[in-house]
Structure 1
């Protein structure tokens, strides 16, 4: 009787390799996330300067009613979205132009690796350090502010940090400078993944650069654009360090640059309101999810319509 050879199963090694990530994710992400949802339905805070613990006492949706009635959440959420949009629109436009420029088979630009490194370098600088640099440049006695006043470009009474829109513009500019290089590299990777024969064939057939971009490159870039849009949105609503350091934690003039994460951080830092901070975090998570799904639906509406049509035809065929 032939001796049976024991087969070696290598599948278990895949589980061993991913186990550390799963364990860390459960301990430091999933459990805190679930506890945030849990405490959003409880009264749980520290009173009298943090010396007396109150709760946790179940109070249903009272925290959500209180959050919506105060109106501060939506005010700071609006500030956050304004700052994100002001930084993201020029970021996606310039990044797309640079990506098209560096990947053009006609231009054949030399030194692409050098330019990629230079563009990505601001992303390696800590946001707090970046904010401190802008504070030194654009404060009332900052270098650039003084220079512009000496050149009579700005009136002597002008102050970047005391005006609503100049403060927002500088925060948006910092976000743009820090992240446009990363976005450019992602878009370049997406464009280089497109078959060159499609672009060359369209050019041979007489299509101009705009037609090639609009009819070929842009549709094939939709997955990368969706990824950039969603990740930028998630990073935008979590904006904290740049506006906090630049405005010295005050939120800027009239609280116009106070972001939603600064608001949540204030709830935890000053009065340790774990209940309201958790409630605000849950609402922010739901709003971000809805907006992200809306982006997905809009950018993939043709595929969704086609999928629904296929399902309808399949049901009719079964009948």
Structure 2
């Protein structure tokens, strides 16, 4: 009888509440440092609030005028610049990362020193982006080491002005983003591949599948969720690109603002203390990021087709 009462008492105890209790700190921090600032940003975007010299103008309620002004500016140009800079760095990043992840995760290859190489390729991710940009600025300046090397090798007779051309500057930004993030992407993809049941690869090999077929028919479908995660997080990071082009172009986005990103555009409004315009641009950037992320997610997962088929 005593044991039966104890068993009934244990059944009545609910452990679900402890899960909610442990989630309280997260939601409290999110509410204070993310949700409230987000609502406050949207609220401030509806006001005229800037400084003209020593005179403070506003805050005066102007409704959606700040949004109209943003869309009448060079917003689309800066959005295009941001996407181009992200694509230039992301395409080689995902290709090299996939190749390295497959190599490192393939036990049949038995690569020696793989731990050492994985550490080396991840190291650039630890370096601050501003420091990385300053290093590239010194290396590829008109009288920098790279130009001296090219002249001595006879590749060029005169210094190449990398930072004075549109694609020279964009190429350097893309190269830096590639070097900083391909190691992190490699580690994520490698972890995804290592999580796949080895029997799938063995079965494919026994059936006579070649390496490329195994990669396209087994590896990619099984790591698709992680691949989508990498793509979306990289897209969000690309839309928030700031420090590399900011330092490399000395905050000018040169030449002719072809390297100016959305966050650099936002920073210009914050620097001039035009908080209403900055708030409106922040909201627009939030909407663009959410929309593009949802498009990528639904396109790659085919969620829309599945719902359509079910209905």
**C-alpha distance in structure 1 between counterparts of 2:125 and 2:223, whole Å:** 23
Partner of 2:35: 30
Partner of 2:59: 56
Give yes or no for the alignment of 1:275 onto 2:276. Answer: yes
Partner of 1:102: 104
**Residues 203-214 of structure 1 aligned to structure 2 (within 5 Å):** 203-214=205-216
Q: Which shifted more, 52-61 or 180-189?
A: 52-61
- TM-superposed deviation, 1:149: 2.0
- TM-superposed deviation, 1:103: 1.1
Partner of 1:137: 139
Structure 2 SS opposite 1:55: strand
The answer for unaligned runs of 5 or more in structure 2 is: none
- TM-superposed deviation, 1:307: 4.0
**C-alpha distance in structure 2 between counterparts of 1:281 and 1:105, whole Å:** 47
**C-alpha distance in structure 2 between counterparts of 1:83 and 1:305, whole Å:** 31
Aligned length: 306
**C-alpha distance in structure 2 between counterparts of 1:120 and 1:179, whole Å:** 8
Structure 1 SS opposite 2:60: strand
Query: TM-score under structure 2 normalisation?
Result: 0.92
Q: Which shifted more, 88-97 or 280-289?
A: 280-289
**C-alpha distance in structure 1 between counterparts of 2:155 and 2:233, whole Å:** 38
Partner of 1:316: none
Instruction: Indicate if the aligned counterparts of 2:151 and 2:159 stay in contact, CA closer than 8 A.
Output: no
Provide the alpha-carbon RMSD of the alignment: 2.0
**Residues 174-253 of structure 1 aligned to structure 2 (within 5 Å):** 174-253=176-255
- TM-superposed deviation, 1:198: 1.0
Q: Which shifted more, 15-24 or 75-84?
A: 15-24
Q: Which shifted more, 83-92 or 57-66?
A: 57-66
- TM-superposed deviation, 1:155: 3.6
Instruction: Indicate if the aligned counterparts of 2:148 and 2:159 stay in contact, CA closer than 8 A.
Output: no
Partner of 1:259: 261
- TM-superposed deviation, 1:157: 4.6
Give yes or no for the alignment of 1:40 onto 2:39. Answer: no
Partner of 1:115: 117
Give yes or no for the alignment of 1:291 onto 2:292. Answer: yes
Instruction: Indicate if the aligned counterparts of 2:134 and 2:248 stay in contact, CA closer than 8 A.
Output: yes
**C-alpha distance in structure 2 between counterparts of 1:47 and 1:184, whole Å:** 49
Structure 2 SS opposite 1:254: coil
The answer for unaligned runs of 5 or more in structure 1 is: 313-319
**C-alpha distance in structure 2 between counterparts of 1:8 and 1:197, whole Å:** 42
Structure 2 SS opposite 1:305: helix
Instruction: Indicate if the aligned counterparts of 2:246 and 2:253 stay in contact, CA closer than 8 A.
Output: yes
Partner of 2:156: 154
Structure 1 SS opposite 2:63: coil
Task: Return the match for 1:66 from 44, 69, 75.
Answer: 69
Structure 1 SS opposite 2:256: helix
Alpha-carbon distance change, 238 to 104 in structure 1, aligned in 2, over 3 angstroms: same
